[in-house]
Structure 1
Amino acid sequence: MNDAYLKFVNSPFGGRLARSLGLPKPEVLRRYRADRPEFGGLIAIGAGREPRLLDAFASFIASVGMTSVAHESAGLWVPLATRHGLMTGRFEPAEAGSPGKLAALLFDASGIDDSSLLEPLHGFFHDTLRSLGKCGRIVVLGRPPEACANPRQWTAQRALEGLVRSLGKEARRGITANLVYVEAGSERGIEATLRFFLSPRSAYVSGQVVRIAAQGALAHDAAAFDWRQPLAGRRALVTGAARGIGAAIASVLAAEGAHVIGLDIPSARDALDATIRQLNGSTLAFDIAAPEAAAQIAAALDELGVDIVVHNAGITKDKTIAKMTDAAWQSVIDINLSAQERIDDALLAAGILRDGGRIVAVSSISGIAGNPGQTNYATSKAGVIGRVQSMAPQLRARGITINAVAPGFIETQMTAKMPFALREAGRRMNSMSQGGQPVDVAQTIAWLAHPGSAGVTGQVVRVCGQSLIGA
């Protein structure tokens, strides 16, 4: 669905009118396109006291071919980058008035262990933020607070969340800001996450906090993969794949090299076949609400197994709880939540989801913040988050990760049917001042399904443009 306001204010006449009237002017987001370079431009490097991730930064920058400049806070960067054979220079604060000079800002806060040592963050972003171009990227990396050695370090690292979320709301112009907590020992497992957050693939993901765990972070080292098609040779089951977000997920996973098995209800078989046929995938037509469906799905997948399971299928039956029927409550809980449990139980028990696999479930910001008239839906989506958090430790021994994405306002057929005022409010109540696209959800899922994301598990990532709801 098209956003007429976004289109208008980004036209020559509309832009002039918006400026004269003081109207908000959302940026047209730069999204990933296969025919355009994914990385390029200058990336500014900053650091706090005793940074521990600069070597990992250098490996990433060398891998993607960007050029770096060092802020004065990162005094160790220039000699380190030179040793890695990188093109680099020094960022001059006087350049702060040069808008668009920088493509990304990357700050290593891993060594900050006291609140009195947070000042380099101010210095770095004070000097560089105005030089960051439209749709630029900000990523701060630190240590998980809960893994810190003492309360002062925990306090300082937890403070990073307030900084990053505020940067995302201040920067505007399509700029995203995200925080990655890197557990000690997982430094070599951060490249896939940096590639996602510093690329156009994360266009609608901002204000998020992600943890990379040491256990599992190096699992991808043993198996080589092509960054251009990292899912080559892998099989991915996507539920609700006939149309909308599910079809976008299937398309992106296939573009990453996966063989996609699309699943949807029998009545959607024609649409499912049309979608998956274009991807050279396979189809399954089952009603996941049926008691026997999990066993049927397991039997259909048994011979070849799967490496990735994406639980996208879901329904809404909105009413205030006083007017909601028992059937409306139970059907939403069953399809959105209980069916996921049944399917995973069947696939895991039989070993059909292979060791080292990925489970990604679609939750919702309604499951985080709640929503009037959606008690059933919000309950089911909060339950999805509970599944992710409770199952992650259990699956770690098998190298299987489980994560969730929580979309906000995404432009779909469902949101197109919303009343005008609610639809516009949903679009504008986020840092991007616009709705997301199905591909934004799909790209986030592809990152979580990536073989290089082995250290990312038990996480809930909102794809909401940093929505004000539940923030």
Structure 2
Amino acid sequence: MNDSYLQFVNSPFGARLARSLGLPRPEVLRRYRADRPEFEGLVAIGGGREPRLFDALANLVASIGVTSVAHASAGLWVPLATRHGLLTGRFEAAEPGSPGRLAALLFDASGIEDSSQLAPLYQFFHDTLRSLGKCGRIVVLGRPPQACASPRQASAQRALEGLTRSLGKEAGRGSTANLVYVAQGAESGVEATLRFFLSPRSAYVSGQVVSIDAGGAGDTGGAHAPPAFGWAQPLAGRRALVTGAARGIGASIASVLAAEGAHVIGIDIPSARDALDATMRQLNGTALAFDIAAPEAAAQIAAALDELGVDIVVHNAGITKDKTIAKMTEAAWQSVIDINLSAQERIDDALLGAGILRDGGRIIGVSSISGIAGNRGQTNYATSKAGVIGRVQSMAPSLRARGITINAVAPGFIETQMTAKIPLAIREAGRRMNSMSQGGQPVDVAQTIAWLAHPGSAGVTGQVVRVCGQSLIGA
């Protein structure tokens, strides 16, 4: 579905008219394309008191091949970068009104232990934000507040959330801002997450807080150490199950996972068999026509996968049957709960119980912003999607023993056939009420899932990541 307003105000005539009338002009987001460099431009580095993640950042900068410039707050960066053989320089503020010259802003706040030590954050972003270019990236790194040694340290680290979410709303021009909490001992497991948040793959992910724990993030040995992979096709040799894969977001998820090297097994209802076959044929994948609402479906899926097993399970299938609860039938309530939530439970029980989902695997559920904020006329849908979040948060600790991660994505307004049927006024509100002032694309959800499925994301579990352009609705 096309956003006619976005296209118009970014045309030569539309841009002039928007400027003259003072109309908002959403930026055309830069999304990942295989024929364009994923990383380029200057990255400004800043740091608070005793930054403890500079070594990890130096490894990242060297790996993605960008040039760094050090802000005055990052006094230790230049000698460290020199030891790593990196091209680096000193940051010089741009003149007010001059075009942005920075591709990304990275700030290491991991050493901040008291609110009195937050001043370098002001200094860094005060000096650098006006130099950030279109579709720029802001990433702040800290320590998980719940693991801090003192209430003062926890308070200072928790303060980073308010800062980062505010930066996402102030940066504009299609830029994003996200916060990554890195547990002590997980420093070597940050690269996959930082690559995602710095790349065009995260075009519609902003204002998010992600924690990386040490339970699997930095392991280089042991039974559940992340397997070897290449950055070009990190999922090569892995098998991925995607439900609701015939079309829409599900087809996009399947396509991105296949592009990352996975063999995709797509599931959809028998009536969608033709579309499912066509989608899987394009990806050299496998099509399985099952109705996941059927009582026998979980056992059938497990039997179909038993011989080779699976490494990634993406629960994408879902339905809506919208009515206010006073007008909703019991059947409409039950069918939405069953397909959107209970079927996930049955499938996972079957795959985990039989060991078909291999140790070190990934489970990713598709929730929704409705499951976080609720939505009028969607009590059944919001209940089911909140339940997906409950599964993720409750199952993560027990699955950790097998090296399996479980996470969820929560899409906001995504341009699909379903949202195309929403009345115009509500559709426009959904598009504009976020920091990007536009709807997302199915590929935005798919790229976020691919990051969570990545072998380098072993330390990311129990997380709920909104793909909503930093929606103004909900927390």
Aligned match of 2:374: 370
What are the superposed Cα offsets for residues 158-177 of structure 1, whole Å, 9 maximum, x if unpaired?
Answer: 00000000000011100000
**Count of residue correspondences:** 471
C-alpha distance in structure 2 between counterparts of 1:96 and 1:111, whole Å: 31
* Residue 32 in structure 1 maps to residue 36 in structure 2: no
Aligned match of 2:86: 86
What are the superposed Cα offsets for residues 412-442 of structure 1, whole Å, 9 maximum, x if unpaired?
Answer: 0000011000000000000000000000000
Aligned match of 1:352: 356
Aligned match of 1:230: 234
Aligned match of 2:462: 458
Moved more, 85-94 or 110-119: 85-94
User: Which residue type is aligned with residue 259 of structure 1?
Assistant: H
* Residue 301 in structure 1 maps to residue 305 in structure 2: yes
* Residue 168 in structure 1 maps to residue 168 in structure 2: yes
Aligned match of 2:279: 275
What are the superposed Cα offsets for residues 360-392 of structure 1, whole Å, 9 maximum, x if unpaired?
Answer: 000000000000000000000000000000000
User: Which residue type is aligned with residue 43 of structure 1?
Assistant: V
Q: Secondary structure at the match of 2:283?
A: coil
* Residue 262 in structure 1 maps to residue 269 in structure 2: no
Aligned match of 2:334: 330
Aligned match of 1:133: 133
User: Which residue type is aligned with residue 57 of structure 1?
Assistant: L
What are the superposed Cα offsets for residues 174-230 of structure 1, whole Å, 9 maximum, x if unpaired?
Answer: 000000000000000000000000000000000000000011102476632110000
Alignment check: 8 A CA contact 1:139 1:177 kept: yes
Alignment check: 8 A CA contact 2:185 2:218 kept: no
C-alpha distance in structure 2 between counterparts of 1:81 and 1:217, whole Å: 24
Q: Which residues of 2 match residues 91-130 of structure 1 at below 5 A?
A: 91-94=91-94, 98-130=98-130
Sort the Cα spacing of 1:287 and 1:222 in 2 relative to 1 into closer, same or farther, 3 A: closer
Q: Secondary structure at the match of 2:79?
A: helix
C-alpha distance in structure 2 between counterparts of 1:85 and 1:231, whole Å: 30
* Residue 189 in structure 1 maps to residue 197 in structure 2: no
Kindly state the Cα deviation for residue 92 of structure 1 after the two structures are TM-superposed. 1.7
Moved more, 91-100 or 428-437: 91-100
User: Which residue type is aligned with residue 398 of structure 1?
Assistant: R
User: Which residue type is aligned with residue 472 of structure 2?
Assistant: L
Cα RMSD between the aligned structures?
0.9
* Residue 44 in structure 1 maps to residue 44 in structure 2: yes
User: Which residue type is aligned with residue 444 of structure 2?
Assistant: D
Residue 426 of structure 1: which of 414, 426, 430 is its match?
430
C-alpha distance in structure 2 between counterparts of 1:263 and 1:223, whole Å: 26
* Residue 342 in structure 1 maps to residue 346 in structure 2: yes
C-alpha distance in structure 1 between counterparts of 2:244 and 2:326, whole Å: 29
What percent identity do the matched residue pairs reach?
Answer: 87
* Residue 445 in structure 1 maps to residue 449 in structure 2: yes
C-alpha distance in structure 1 between counterparts of 2:158 and 2:218, whole Å: 25
C-alpha distance in structure 1 between counterparts of 2:17 and 2:190, whole Å: 44
Alignment check: 8 A CA contact 2:71 2:91 kept: yes
Unaligned 5+ residue runs, structure 2?
Answer: none
Residue 292 of structure 1: which of 288, 291, 296 is its match?
296
Q: Which residues of 2 match residues 397-436 of structure 1 at below 5 A?
A: 397-436=401-440
Kindly state the Cα deviation for residue 346 of structure 1 after the two structures are TM-superposed. 0.3
Structure 2 length-normalised TM: 0.98
User: Which residue type is aligned with residue 368 of structure 2?
Assistant: S
Aligned match of 2:142: 142
Sort the Cα spacing of 1:94 and 1:279 in 2 relative to 1 into closer, same or farther, 3 A: closer
C-alpha distance in structure 2 between counterparts of 1:341 and 1:94, whole Å: 53
User: Which residue type is aligned with residue 44 of structure 2?
Assistant: A
Kindly state the Cα deviation for residue 47 of structure 1 after the two structures are TM-superposed. 0.2
Aligned match of 1:310: 314
Alignment check: 8 A CA contact 1:97 1:131 kept: no
Kindly state the Cα deviation for residue 99 of structure 1 after the two structures are TM-superposed. 2.4
Aligned match of 2:65: 65
User: Runs ≥4 in structure 1, deviation > 4 angstroms?
Assistant: 94-97, 219-222
What are the superposed Cα offsets for residues 249-289 of structure 1, whole Å, 9 maximum, x if unpaired?
Answer: 00000000000000000000000000010000001111000
Q: Secondary structure at the match of 1:278?
A: helix
Alignment check: 8 A CA contact 1:96 1:128 kept: no
Structure 1 length-normalised TM: 0.99
Aligned match of 2:218: 218
Q: Secondary structure at the match of 2:257?
A: helix
User: Which residue type is aligned with residue 45 of structure 2?
Assistant: I
Aligned match of 1:14: 14
Unaligned 5+ residue runs, structure 1?
Answer: none
Q: Secondary structure at the match of 2:68?
A: strand
User: Which residue type is aligned with residue 77 of structure 1?
Assistant: W
Alignment check: 8 A CA contact 2:236 2:260 kept: yes
